[in-house]
């Protein structure tokens, strides 16, 4: 079966064939010559290319079509499209050859030349040759007067600098675009968080705090910046301030309440305020009845009032918002209750249920990208699949929170 790439080639082939037929017909109308040998060769090459295509030999087909198609103002777009096709198929080296061949043609317009340079920069990025890509992009930004092309070049340059973890340079390029493109504020906020992490490791905490505050100015919903600021407050012994920082997270993103719970618990325990932590958990439960909050409350009640009170609390809460993780914790409580009540071994039915919940929890997805659906066990601030920032969040629902 032909895949999408082959279908694209087929469409290009049809376009080439139509063009060849049109030009040959024009020659016959305007010239009273015998059948042209070059025309016959072109037609023959075209059908040779189609034969390769139908026999699922796309490389040979594309090479044949490229040889048939002369480079001129009418066909340059087709050559660019073929280069894109090679790059999309993971053969960026062939795309480089096509686009470099186009740049060697002196008759092309400046706009077309700049388009090809942009595609060539994409080819080099696909090959991992970032220095050559960066030189091309900097040249375009220096000389091009086309606003649309300049924006595309800036986007590509920012992508390149991000891959190189050149956060300062990426911020310099992207900052003038915030007014027209406010969505760019989110990645910039995360780059500032990356800089802050580097500065914390180098004991430059004041500079790290400055960058984190700037990140929140750019993107007030940046949970990551809030978490890092809370960590800095705790490191300085300011546990109340840390709790105040963390209390902003539910307003920033409800789904990240489970992300902040370990830090919140740590802050309350360091100030010896278990009652304050419990009260805070009840407030969070009113905002979002997540499994992790219910389990945290269950653990506090268990330690203070015993296992049966914990069973009562967790069972009541799970009736309203059932979840696999909550059920697993409730089964643990029931097993412990039976042991404390003198039963030599827990009910086999409970053990069977526990076996199944453990197996299901082992294979569950804990975090998912809200943009592309990428599944991850641990939280990652940049999605490895779509490379969007801040889109991976805890899974909500029966199998999650």
Question: At a CB cut-off of 8 Å and minimum separation 6, what does 303 contact?
Answer: none
Report how far residue 264's alpha carbon sits from residue 20's, in angstroms, rounded to the nearest whole number: 71
Total residue length of the chain: 401
Residue 106's Cβ-count burial label (10 Å; 0-12, 13-18, 19+) is exposed
| 386's tokens | 């779509």
pLDDT top residue among 61 and 195: 195
Look at residue 290 and tell me whether its pLDDT is greater than 90: yes
**First-residue to last-residue Cα distance in the chain:** 43
Degrees (nearest 5) of the Cα angle 288, 294, 298? 160
Q: Provide the 8-state DSSP code for 35.
A: P
Which of the four pLDDT bands, split at 50, 70 and 90, describes residue 14? very low
State the CB neighbour count (10 A cutoff) for residue 25: 10
Average pLDDT value for residue range 31-41: 46
Looking at residue 67, what is its pLDDT? 63
pLDDT at 33 over 70: no
Q: In sequence order, which residues have a C-beta less than 8 Å from that of residue 91 and are 6 or more positions away?
A: none
Over residues 396-400, the mean pLDDT reads 86
Question: Residue 31: pLDDT above 50?
Answer: no
- Distance from C-alpha of 313 to C-alpha of 301, rounded to nearest angstrom: 8
Q: Was 369 annotated as part of a binding site?
A: yes
Could you tell me the pLDDT band of residue 48, with boundaries at 50, 70 and 90? low
Residue spans of the domains in the chain: they are 4-164, 365-401
56: its two tokens: 């699922």
d(CA 276, CA 284): 12
| Structure token digits, residue 84 | 């894109």
Residue 50 has pLDDT above 80, yes or no: no
Cβ pair 157, 134 in contact under 8 A: yes
Q: What pLDDT was estimated at residue 328?
A: 95
pLDDT (0 to 100) of residue 81: 82
pLDDT at 250 over 60: yes
C-alpha to C-alpha distance for 296 and 289, rounded to whole angstroms? 12
Mean of per-residue pLDDT scores for the chain: 86
Amino acid 42: pLDDT: 47
Rounded Cα distance between 343 and 336, Å, is 10
Neighbours of 231 (CB within 10 A): 19
pLDDT at 35 over 50: no
Residue 389, helix vs strand vs coil: strand
Looking at residue 381, its pLDDT comes to: 97
Q: Angle, to 10 degrees, between the axis of helix 291-305 and the axis of helix 324-340?
A: 20
* CATH fold of 4-164: 1.25.40
Closest CA to 119 of 86, 143, 146: 86
Q: How far apart are CA 172 and CA 149, in angstroms?
A: 19
Confidence band (pLDDT; 50, 70, 90) for 130?
Answer: very high
Report residue 287's pLDDT band, with 50, 70 and 90 as the boundaries: very high
397 alpha carbon, distance to own chain's centre: 22
Residue 21: how many CA atoms within 13 Å on its side-chain side? Answer: 8
Note the pLDDT tens digit of each residue in 65-81: 566 555 555 677 777 88
Rg of the chain over Cα atoms, rounded to whole angstroms, equals 31
Task: Decide if 191 contacts 170 (C-beta within 8 A).
Answer: yes
Query: What is the tens place of the pLDDT at every residue in 341-376?
Result: 877 788 889 999 999 999 999 888 999 999 999 999
Q: Find out whether 222 is annotated in a ligand binding site.
A: no
Phi-psi region of 109 (alpha: psi -120 to 50; beta: other; left: phi over 0): beta
Instruction: Tell me what pLDDT residue 62 has.
Output: 64
Would the pLDDT of 63 be above 80? Answer: no
Backbone angles phi, psi at 128, to 5 degrees: 85, 10
Q: What percent of the chain has pLDDT over 70?
A: 82
pLDDT of residue 373: 95
Q: Is the pLDDT of residue 8 over 60?
A: no
Strand spans (E) along 53-147: none
Q: What is the pLDDT of residue 25?
A: 46
* Residue 62 in tokens: 């594309």
- Long-range CB contacts for residues 248-252, cutoff 8 Å, separation at least 24: 249/223, 250/284, 250/287, 250/288, 252/220, 252/221, 252/222, 252/223, 252/226
């Amino acid at each position: 079966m032909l895949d999408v790439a082959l279908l694209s080639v087929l469409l290009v082939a049809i376009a080439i064939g139509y063009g060849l037929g049109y030009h040959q017909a024009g020659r016959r109308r305007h010239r009273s010559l015998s059948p042209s040998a070059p025309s016959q060769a072109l037609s023959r090459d075209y059908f040779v290319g189609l034969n390769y295509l139908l026999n699922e030999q796309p490389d040979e087909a594309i090479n044949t079509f490229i040889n048939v198609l002369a480079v001129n103002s009418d066909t340059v777009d087709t050559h660019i499209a073929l280069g894109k096709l090679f790059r999309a198929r993971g053969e960026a080296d062939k795309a480089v050859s096509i686009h470099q061949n186009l740049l060697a043609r002196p008759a092309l317009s400046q706009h077309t030349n700049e388009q090809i340079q942009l595609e060539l920069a994409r080819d080099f990025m696909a090959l991992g040759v970032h220095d050559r890509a960066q030189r091309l992009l900097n040249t375009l930004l220096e000389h091009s007067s086309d606003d649309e092309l300049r924006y595309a070049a800036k986007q590509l340059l920012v992508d390149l600098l991000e891959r190189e973890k050149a956060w300062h340079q990426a911020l310099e390029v992207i900052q003038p675009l915030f007014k027209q493109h406010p969505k760019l504020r989110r990645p910039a906020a995360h780059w500032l968080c990356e800089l802050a992490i580097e500065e914390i490791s180098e004991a430059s905490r004041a500079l790290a705090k400055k960058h984190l505050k700037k990140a929140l100015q750019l993107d007030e919903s940046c949970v990551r910046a809030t978490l890092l600021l809370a960590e800095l407050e705790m490191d300085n012994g300011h546990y109340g301030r840390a709790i105040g920082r963390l209390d902003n997270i539910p307003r920033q993103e409800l789904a990240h309440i489970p992300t902040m719970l370990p830090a919140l618990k740590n802050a309350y325990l360091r100030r010896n305020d278990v009652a304050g932590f419990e009260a805070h958990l009840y407030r969070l439960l009113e905002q979002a009845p997540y499994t992790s909050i219910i389990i945290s409350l269950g653990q506090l009640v268990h330690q203070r009032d015993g296992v049966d009170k914990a069973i009562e609390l967790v069972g009541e809460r799970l009736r309203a918002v059932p979840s696999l993780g909550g059920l697993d914790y409730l089964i643990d409580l029931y097993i412990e209750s039976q042991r404390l009540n003198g039963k030599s071994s827990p009910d086999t039915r409970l053990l069977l249920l526990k076996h199944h919940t453990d197996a299901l929890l082992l294979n569950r997805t804990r975090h998912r990208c809200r943009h592309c659906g990428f599944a991850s066990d641990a939280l990652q601030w940049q999605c490895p699949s779509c490379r969007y920032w801040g889109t991976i969040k805890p899974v909500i629902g029966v199998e999650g929170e």
